[in-house]
Amino acid sequence: MSTPTRTTASPTTHHESAWGVVGAHIYDAFIALGEQRGMAARRAALLADAEGTVLEIGAGTGTNLAAYPPVDRLVLTEPAATMRGILSRRVAREAAHASVVDAGAEALPSPRPASTPSSRRWSSARSRTSTRRWPRSRGS
């Protein structure tokens, strides 16, 4: 018996399994204990210096939204349709300054260094992050 899939309109055509749909709906409840035990504070500390235009790749259900300081522009990408739907509803409720994009990392154009001063990549477990500071161009 094969697993049913969903296809999004993403340029890379992301296939979402039934487990992906279920996982998206239980994700926030699944990580709630970790959030209470310090992950929310760690997330806030890691994102505290975000500025300018911020691109989050694989934003999931939007757990990071509350941790972002005010930024010029927040672009959230998520290729999985169910996660993106939950993310879009959260953005509508909590973050009018953010936009949600139907794309995975491989579908994004390369940012010009001056246009994206910082970007964050979280692991799927949300336990590690890497930060890339793009150098400012002259005159910025």
What is the total count of domains within the chain? 1
pLDDT in tens, 82-140: 999 999 999 999 876 899 999 887 777 665 555 555 555 544 434 344 445 544 444 44
**Calpha distance 33→9 (Å, rounded):** 34
Q: Among 1-15, 22-36, 39-53, 66-80, which stretch is predicted with the lowest mean pLDDT? A: 1-15
Residue 2 domain flag:
no
Residue 119 domain flag:
yes
Which CATH number covers residue 27?
A: 3.40.50
Residue 89 domain flag:
yes
- Extended strands (E) in the chain: 5-7, 15-17, 53-57, 73-77, 98-101, 118-122, 129-133
Residue 99 domain flag:
yes
Residue 1 domain flag:
no
At 97 the pLDDT is: 81
Residue 113 domain flag:
yes
Residue 140 domain flag:
no
**Calpha distance 54→60 (Å, rounded):** 16
At 127 the pLDDT is: 38
**Is 18 within 8 Å of 35 (Cβ atoms)?**
no
At 105 the pLDDT is: 77
**Is 119 within 8 Å of 58 (Cβ atoms)?**
no
Q: What are phi and psi of 137, to 5 degrees?
A: -80, 160
Residue 59 domain flag:
yes
Tell me the residue range of the domain where 70 lies.
9-133
Q: What percent of the chain has pLDDT over 70?
A: 66
